[in-house]
């Protein structure tokens, strides 16, 4: 990799530049396509995390291989066997953080007419900081006091319904 390629990718992660394929043999991609690809990758990352959180095998492997597992779980107040960090409740919390992340960027990008404005630069760049924000929002959802899981599920279904209704409008 050349220094120019590395600088371009660094500008994508920490600056306002859009991501591009850095290989000379790869075709150039448009900024709008790279932005959609990055948001899709963030979504896929959270979905994979949720799949891991639903896996009983992963939970059992963590219990067996992490030293002082029960003490750590009690220390972070996640239950005796970290039941708050796995299962449906944990997935609802992570998805709530992801939904808040995408909702904030939805509001931020309303009525953007060109890719030259300040909000457009935020939308098309700063991917490293967006990843940190997504992680913070998903992690922060675990600090919300316990509520009924049904209520969280109902909110998720309501949000899904509004999203489906908004598709023809957008």
- Compute mean pLDDT per 10 residues along the chain, 170 residues long, and list them: 58 56 54 80 92 86 82 77 79 87 86 78 83 92 70 68 69
How far is Cα 70 from Cα 27, in angstroms, rounded to an integer? 51
pLDDT at 47: 92
How far is Cα 2 from Cα 4, in angstroms, rounded to an integer? 5
pLDDT tens for 85-116 read: 788 888 888 888 898 898 888 888 888 777 77
Cα dihedral 53, 57, 58, 62 sign = positive
Closest CA to 87 of 151, 162, 149: 149
Residue pointed to by tokens 């992963």: 58
pTM: 0.73
pLDDT at 46: 92
pLDDT at 25: 46
Do residues 111 and 96 make contact, with C-beta atoms less than 8 angstroms apart? Answer: no
How far is Cα 27 from Cα 126, in angstroms, rounded to an integer? 23
**Domain residue spans in the chain?**
30-169
Residues 6+ apart with CB under 8 A from 5: 22
pLDDT at 24: 47
């Amino acid at each position: 990799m050349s220094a120019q390629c590395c600088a371009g990718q660094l500008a994508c992660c920490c600056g306002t530049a859009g991501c591009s394929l850095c290989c000379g043999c790869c075709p150039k991609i448009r900024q709008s396509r790279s932005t959609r690809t990055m948001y899709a990758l963030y979504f896929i990352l959270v979905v994979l995390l949720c799949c891991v959180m639903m896996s009983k095998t992963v939970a059992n492997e963590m219990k067996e291989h992490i030293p002082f597992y029960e003490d750590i779980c009690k220390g972070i107040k996640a239950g005796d066997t970290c039941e708050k960090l796995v299962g449906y409740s944990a997935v609802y919390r992570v998805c709530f953080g992801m939904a808040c992340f995408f909702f904030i960027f939805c509001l931020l990008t309303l009525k953007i007419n060109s890719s030259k404005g300040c909000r457009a630069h935020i939308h098309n760049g700063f991917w490293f900081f967006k990843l940190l924000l997504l992680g913070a929002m998903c992690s922060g959802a675990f600090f919300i006091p316990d509520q009924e899981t049904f209520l969280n599920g109902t909110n998720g279904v309501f949000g899904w319904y509004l999203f489906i209704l908004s598709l023809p409008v957008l």
